[in-house]
Structure 1
């Protein structure tokens, strides 16, 4: 049971790391860079088979929140204002993730002791 928990936790942490890398790349370089064009190729608006559905899931787990968030913020607020708002959203998401991680850790410690 602990092996399954460890594997799932590891995969979630990897997905979060990809989200943060994507967020940083968009914040630093904007939407017109090779990494952004590479990320956009993973999502299919109308998936036809299991591979397209899997790639959509992969996109959402690893890049989707950072990419879609950046696109929405920059469509509404252009330039430095949009980048600052996006940085604020990333900071807010980080604070929320830290709070949730602390709650989960406290529950885990209670269950294992």
Structure 2
């Protein structure tokens, strides 16, 4: 039970960072100090264990939101890109709510 709670806690922290990153990009765009801070975590050619760990940290905490924003803005740009990205964030939120409800049902049935 402690392992389950620890994993769920770490996943919820990672999701929180992803949402903060997504909303920061929606509000302020890509040319902000926060975006430059996030981009520095990823190494294209990791040399040692620290670079590999930071790549994993980047993917878990910022990567999906950052890469998604970059791809959408390169393809669509402007207001249309921001609206599509907001729709993407909304869709992901709905999917995560459904998954959380399923996990809650499974947990309740296992406990009873």
Name the TM tier (shorter chain).
over 0.9
SS at match of 2:103: helix
Unaligned runs of 5+ in 2: none
Which aligned segments of 4 or more residues in structure 1 are displaced greater than 3 angstroms?
none
TM-score (normalizing by structure 1):
0.98
Q: Deviations over 1:40-84 (max 9, x none)?
A: 000001111110000000000000000000000000001000000
TM-score (normalizing by structure 2):
0.98
Note the aligned Cα RMSD (angstroms): 0.5
SS at match of 1:46: coil
Provide the C-alpha distance between the structure 2 equivalents of 1:74 and 1:102, rounded to a whole number of angstroms.
32
Q: What is the aligned partner in structure 1 of residue 58 from structure 2?
A: 59
Unaligned runs of 5+ in 1: none
Q: What is the aligned partner in structure 1 of residue 68 from structure 2?
A: 69
Shift of 1:7: 1.1
Number of equivalenced pairs: 112
Q: What is the aligned partner in structure 2 of residue 32 from structure 1?
A: 31
Provide the C-alpha distance between the structure 1 equivalents of 2:3 and 2:21, rounded to a whole number of angstroms.
27
Q: What is the aligned partner in structure 2 of residue 5 from structure 1?
A: 4
Provide the C-alpha distance between the structure 2 equivalents of 1:102 and 1:4, rounded to a whole number of angstroms.
20
